[in-house]
Amino acid sequence: MGIKNKINEGCIYFLTLTVVDWVDIFTRPVYKRIIIESIKYCQDVKGLEVYVWCLMSNHIHLIAGVKEDSKCNLSDVLRDFKKFTNKRIIAEIESCTESRRKWMLNQFEFAGRYNPKIKDFKFWQDGNEAKEIISPEFLHQKMDYIHMNPVIAEIVSEPHHYLHSSAIDYSGGKGLIDVVFV
Whether the predicted pLDDT of 2 surpasses 50: no
CA 56 to chain centre: 9
Considering only residues 1 and 159, tell me which one the structure prediction assigns the higher pLDDT.
159
Say whether 52 sits in a helix, a strand or coil: strand
Q: Which helix (H) or strand (E) holds 165?
A: none
Which tens digit of pLDDT belongs to each residue from 139-178? 999 999 999 999 999 999 999 999 999 999 999 999 999 9
Mean pLDDT on 73-97: 95
d(CA 47, CA 84): 16
Confidence of residue 116 (pLDDT cuts 50, 70, 90): confident
What pLDDT was estimated at residue 3?
43
As a whole number of angstroms, the distance between CA 73 and CA 79 comes to 10
CA distance 34 to 31: 5
What gap in Å lies between CA 85 and CA 35, rounded to an integer?
A: 7
pLDDT exceeds cutoff 70 at 4: no
- DSSP type of residue 125: P
CA distance 176 to 166: 8
Q: Are 87 and 35 in contact (CB under 8 A)?
A: no
- Distance between CA atoms of 72 and 95, rounded to whole angstroms? 32
- Domain definitions of the chain by residue range: 3-170
Is residue 49 within 8 Å of 43, Cβ to Cβ? yes
Average pLDDT in the 96-122 region?
90
- For the segment 33-65, what is each residue's pLDDT rounded down to a tens digit? 999 999 999 999 999 999 999 999 999 999 999
> pTM for the full model?
0.93
Distance CA(82)–CA(172), nearest Å, equals 30
pLDDT in tens, 8-30: 888 999 999 999 999 999 999 99
Mean pLDDT of 84-105: 94
Task: Summarize the confidence of residues 80-105 as an average pLDDT.
Answer: 95
Fold of 3-170: Alpha-Beta Plaits (3.30.70)
